[in-house]
Amino acid sequence: MIENQKIKPAQVVGPLGEPLTLDSLPPADTTRWVVRRKAEVVAAVNGGLLSVDEACARYNLTLEEFASWQRAVDRSGMHGLRVTRIQYYKSLYERQQKY
């Protein structure tokens, strides 16, 4: 079982339906994180292309930062990753949880 967990796929489906490989992921020295790049990293981790630890190390992210991206995608899709709309989607999610 542990041996199977070491097998990683060669490619996964990206957030826009395109195939993602390690080579097509954003560069490791990325400093400007647009929605598409964040979504690609989350898709790579969710698909097993990268582990959370590998993604955090490769992109110099904290675990909390990556987890917030993952939560945003789970709750609101790619739109939730927009920095200018964080408060809107956060309040929307909180209102939905009340009912």
Q: In this structure, is residue 27 part of a structural domain?
A: yes
The count of structural domains within the chain is: 1
Helix axes 35-47, 52-59, angle to 10 degrees: 150
Tokens of 45: 């981790």
- Domain carrying residue 39: 11-94
Q: What is the DSSP string of 16-58?
A: TS-EE-TTTSPPTT-----HHHHHHHHHHHHHTSS-HHHHHHH
Q: In this structure, is residue 78 part of a structural domain?
A: yes
Q: What is the pTM of this model?
A: 0.79
Instruction: Dump pLDDT digits (tens) for 61-89.
Output: 999 999 999 999 998 889 888 876 666 66
Q: In this structure, is residue 2 part of a structural domain?
A: no
Q: In this structure, is residue 25 part of a structural domain?
A: yes
CATH assignment at residue 25: 1.10.10.10
Instruction: Dump pLDDT digits (tens) for 38-62.
Output: 999 999 999 999 999 999 999 999 9
DSSP label at residue 6: T
